[in-house]
C-alpha cells in the first residue's frame, strides 16, 4: 500500500486546461455535478470500448484484467487504505446503501447525523426507522454552521449504533470536521459512516487519519472520472461483519444448494456485471488526480473559490450561503431578484454551467429558511478569467 504523494508544487493551469477539451466550449463551474473529464481519462474509456467492439466484451475484460485490478490499487493510494477494503459500484448512493443496509439495528438503537446530511441518506434512515424502530437524531450545528462536536459528544450513549455524516454537503462550501468526528466515534466504539461524495477529488482524504469505518465516494464529481462510477471503503475489521443486502455470484466465494460463503474482501458489495470502460476511466482519473497531488488541488480550489466568493459578495443583491469554518470549492448563493432556476438557465444560454441546489437535496434547507440556491463549483483547471466572466454575467442577469 502506497500512501498519497504529498508535494507542494503549484498547479500548472495551462497544462491542466490543455488536458481538458471541454474548456474550449464551456465555462464549467459545475464540478460538483460532474467535472469535465481530462483527455487521458476520456482516452482510457474510449480505448477500452474500442477493444470491446473489436474483440468482444468478455475478451476485452480478460485482456485488460491487470489494468482493471490496478484501479483498486489507485483508489487505495487515494484513500490510504488496502485495496481489498474497496468495492467499485455504479455511484456513491449505491456504495453508501450497500454498507448502510448491511448494518443491523434493533428497536431503540440511535443513529446520529448532521444537519447537512444528503437527503438520500436521510431517506434510508427513515426507512430503517420504519422497519427496525431506530431513533434518528440530527445533531445541531455550531456557530460556524458545521456539526457541533460538543453536541455530538453529549449525544453519544450506549444506544448509539451509528454516526453518519456528510463530509461536504451537496448545497454549499462547508467542510464538516470529519477527523474530529472520527475521534469521538472511535472513543465510544460507534461505527462511523462518512459520505465523501462531494469532498473526494478536491482535497486529501485519508481514511486512517479520519478514522471512519465506512466511506462512500463517486467518480464523476471532483475526481473528474466518468459518470456511473462510485466506490466504497470498509475497514478490514468491519468487512467480515457486514453481510450485504444483495448478493450475487460475484459477491460470494462459493455456494451450494444449502448455503454460501461471502467473499472476505470488498467484492462482497459489488455485482457481477459492470461497465469496464468506466471502471478503467475511474482508475485513470484517480491516477491523474494523484499526479497533480491532492494538496495542490485543494490549495488551488480554495484559492479560486475564495476569490469567487469575494467577487460575488461585491455584487449588490447577491447573498452567499456557504457555511463552515473551512470552505471548499462549492459556492452557493441566491438573490431576491431571480430564482436559482432562472439564473442557471440564463447562464446556460451563455455557455456557463452551474447547477441548482434544490431544497429537497439536503435536510437543512427548510431549517435555514432557504429556497433553491445557485451552486457554482470550482476546480483547479478553472481560472481567474472565468471567475471574472462569471461575475460579469451574474451582474448583468441579477
Ligand atoms: C453529499 C452527497 N452524497 C451523495 C450523493 C450521491 O452521489 P451519486 O449521485 O454518485 O450517487 C451526492 C450527489 O450529489 C451528494 O451531494
Strand partners, 166: 195
Does some domain include residue 3?
no
382 burial (CB, 10 Å; 0-12 / 13-18 / 19+) is buried
| DSSP H helical ranges for the chain | 13-18, 39-55, 57-63, 65-79, 92-100, 119-132, 149-155, 178-188, 207-210, 236-239, 276-292, 294-313, 340-349, 384-397
Average pLDDT, the chain: 96
For atom 16 of ligand 1, the residue with the nearest CA is 170
Of 291, 318, 348, the last residue of a domain is: 291
Question: Average pLDDT of 375-379?
Answer: 98
Q: Is residue 1 part of a domain?
A: no
Map residue 321 onto helix, strand or coil. coil
Does residue 160 form part of some domain? yes
Our mutation pick for probing the ligand 1 site, out of 34, 218, 228, 332, counting the most ligand atoms within 8 A of Cβ, is 218
Residues 32, 49 share a domain: no
**Can you tell me which atom of ligand 1 is nearest the CA of 167?**
1
Q: Is the pLDDT of residue 5 over 60?
A: no
- Is the four-CA dihedral 294, 300, 304, 305 of positive or negative sign? positive
Which CATH number does the domain housing residue 137 bear?
A: 3.40.640.10
Both 278 and 326 in one domain: the answer is: no
Give the C-alpha separation, 250 to 247, whole Å.
8
**Residue 6 pLDDT greater than 50, yes or no:** no
Same domain for 90 and 142, yes or no, is: yes
Question: How many whole angstroms from 361 Cα to the centroid of ligand 1?
Answer: 9
The number of beta carbons lying within 10 Å of the beta carbon of residue 319 is 13
Distance in angstroms (rounded) separating the CA atoms of residues 65 and 375: 39
128 and 233 in a single domain? The answer is: yes
Neighbouring-strand partners of residue 397? none
What atom in ligand 1 is closest to the CA of residue 221?
10
Same domain, 326 and 388: yes
Q: How confident is the model at residue 2 (pLDDT cuts 50, 70, 90)?
A: very low
Q: What pLDDT, in 10s, does the model give residues 314-342?
A: 999 999 999 999 999 999 999 999 999 99
Q: Which residues of 62-81 are buried (b: 16+ CB within 10 A; e: fewer)?
A: eebeebbebbbbbbbbbbbb
- Say if 345 falls within a structural domain: yes
Cα(127) to centroid(ligand 1), Å: 18
Residue of 95, 198, 228 to mutate, ligand 1, most atoms within 8 A of C-beta: 198
Pick the residue whose CA is nearest to atom 14 on ligand 1. 170
Tell me phi and psi for residue 233, to 5 degrees: -115, 135
Cα gap 366→161, rounded to integer Å: 27
Task: Report residue 8's pLDDT band, with 50, 70 and 90 as the boundaries.
Answer: low
What's the 230 CA to ligand 1 centre distance in angstroms?
A: 10
Enclosing domain of residue 187: 43-291
CA of 59 from ligand 1 middle (Å) equals 33
The CATH number that applies at residue 20 is 3.90.1150.10
For ligand 1, atom 4: residue with the closest CA:
197
Residues 351 and 224 in one domain: no
Using DSSP's 3-state secondary structure scheme, residue 10 falls into coil
Domain check: are 268 and 313 in the same one?
no
> Which cell goes with 357?
441546489
- State whether 109 and 239 are in the same domain: yes
Flag whether 5 is in a domain.
Answer: no
Number of domains in the chain: 2
pTM for the structure as a whole: 0.96
259 CA → ligand 1 middle, Å = 35
Indicate whether 125 and 262 sit together in one domain: yes
CA of 200 to the centre of ligand 1 (A): 11
The pLDDT of 98-111, averaged and rounded, is: 98
* Closest residue to atom 15 of ligand 1, CA basis: 170
Q: Which residues pair with 217 in a beta bridge?
A: 231
With bands split at pLDDT 50, 70 and 90, how would you rate the model's confidence at 44? very high
pLDDT-derived band at 74 (thresholds 50, 70, 90) equals very high
Is residue 321 in some structural domain?
A: yes
Tell me what percent of the residues of the chain surpass a pLDDT of 70. Answer: 98
Q: Look at residues 262, 291, 320 and tell me which one is the last residue of a structural domain.
A: 291
168: CA distance to ligand 1 center in Å? 10
Does residue 4 lie within any of the structural domains? no
pLDDT > 90: percent of the chain:
96
CA distance 29 to 330: 9
Q: Which uninterrupted H or E stretch holds 333?
A: strand 330-335
CA distance 230 to 88: 6
Distance 83 CA to ligand 1 centre (A): 23
Identify the residue whose cell numbers are 478553472: 382
Query: Does residue 203 share a domain with residue 152?
Result: yes
Task: Name beta bridge partners: 377.
Answer: 30, 330
The answer to whether residues 1 and 207 touch, using CB atoms and an 8 Å cutoff, is: no
Ligand 1 atom nearest the C-alpha of 94 is 11
- Report residue 150's pLDDT band, with 50, 70 and 90 as the boundaries: very high
Pocket of ligand 1 (CB under 6 A): 91-93, 118, 166, 169-170, 195, 197-198, 218, 230
State the Cα angle at 157 between 152 and 130, rounded to 5°.
Answer: 90
Does 157 reside within a domain?
yes
Domain boundary among 272, 291, 310: 291
Candidate from 87, 170, 200, 221 with most ligand 1 atoms within 8 A of CB, to mutate: 170
Nearest CA to ligand 1 atom 3: 197
Q: Rounded CA gap, 72 and 85, in Å?
A: 9
Same domain, yes or no, for 94 and 138?
yes
CA of 119 to the centre of ligand 1 (A): 9
How far is 195 from 215, CA to CA, in rounded Å?
A: 6
Q: Do 277 and 306 belong to one domain?
A: no
User: Exposed, middle or buried by CB within 10 Å (0-12, 13-18, 19+), for 248?
Assistant: exposed
Amino acid at each position: 500500500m502506497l500512501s498519497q504523494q504529498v508535494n507542494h508544487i503549484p498547479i500548472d493551469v495551462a497544462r491542466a486546461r490543455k488536458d481538458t477539451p471541454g474548456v474550449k466550449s464551456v465555462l464549467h463551474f459545475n464540478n460538483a455535478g460532474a467535472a469535465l473529464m481530462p483527455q487521458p481519462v476520456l482516452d482510457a474509456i474510449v480505448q477500452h470500448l474500442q477493444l470491446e467492439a473489436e474483440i468482444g466484451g468478455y475478451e476485452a475484460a480478460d485482456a485488460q484484467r491487470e489494468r482493471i485490478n490496478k484501479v483498486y490499487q489507485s483508489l487505495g493510494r487515494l484513500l490510504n487504505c488496502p485495496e481489498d477494503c474497496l468495492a467499485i459500484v455504479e455511484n456513491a448512493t449505491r456504495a453508501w446503501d450497500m454498507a448502510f443496509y448491511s448494518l443491523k439495528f434493533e428497536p431503540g438503537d440511535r443513529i446520529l447525523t448532521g444537519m447537512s446530511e444528503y437527503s438520500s441518506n436521510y431517506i434510508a434512515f427513515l426507512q430503517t426507522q420504519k422497519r427496525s424502530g431506530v431513533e434518528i437524531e440530527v445533531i445541531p450545528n455550531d456557530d460556524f454552521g458545521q456539526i457541533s462536536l460538543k453536541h455530538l459528544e453529549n449525544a453519544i450513549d450506549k444506544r448509539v449504533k451509528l454516526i453518519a455524516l456528510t463530509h461536504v454537503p451537496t448545497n454549499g462550501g462547508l467542510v464538516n470536521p470529519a477527523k474530529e468526528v472520527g475521534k469521538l466515534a472511535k472513543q465510544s466504539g460507534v461505527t462511523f459512516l462518512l459520505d465523501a461524495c462531494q469532498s473526494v477529488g478536491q482535497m486529501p482524504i485519508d481514511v486512517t487519519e479520519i478514522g471512519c469505518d465506512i466511506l462512500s465516494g463517486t467518480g464523476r464529481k471532483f475526481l473528474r472520472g466518468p459518470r456511473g462510477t462510485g466506490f466504497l471503503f470498509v475497514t478490514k475489521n468491519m468487512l467480515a461483519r457486514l453481510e450485504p443486502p444483495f448478493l450475487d455470484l460475484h459477491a460470494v466465494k462459493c455456494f451450494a444448494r444449502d448455503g454460501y460463503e461471502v467473499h472476505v474482501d470488498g467484492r462482497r458489495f459489488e455485482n457481477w456485471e459492470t461497465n469496464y470502460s468506466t471502471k478503467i476511466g475511474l482508475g485513470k482519473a484517480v491516477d491523474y488526480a494523484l499526479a497533480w497531488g491532492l494538496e495542490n488541488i485543494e490549495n488551488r480550489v480554495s484559492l479560486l473559490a475564495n476569490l469567487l466568493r469575494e467577487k460575488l459578495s461585491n455584487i449588490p443583491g447577491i447573498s452567499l450561503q456557504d457555511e463552515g469554518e473551512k470552505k471548499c470549492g462549492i459556492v452557493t448563493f441566491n438573490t431576491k431578484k431571480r430564482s436559482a432556476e432562472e439564473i442557471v438557465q440564463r447562464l446556460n444560454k451563455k455557455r456557463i454551467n452551474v447547477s441548482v441546489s434544490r431544497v429537497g437535496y439536503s435536510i437543512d434547507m427548510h431549517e435555514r429558511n432557504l429556497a433553491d440556491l445557485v451552486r457554482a463549483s470550482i476546480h483547479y483547471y478553472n481560472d481567474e478569467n472565468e471567475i471574472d466572466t462569471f461575475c460579469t454575467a451574474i451582474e448583468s442577469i441579477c
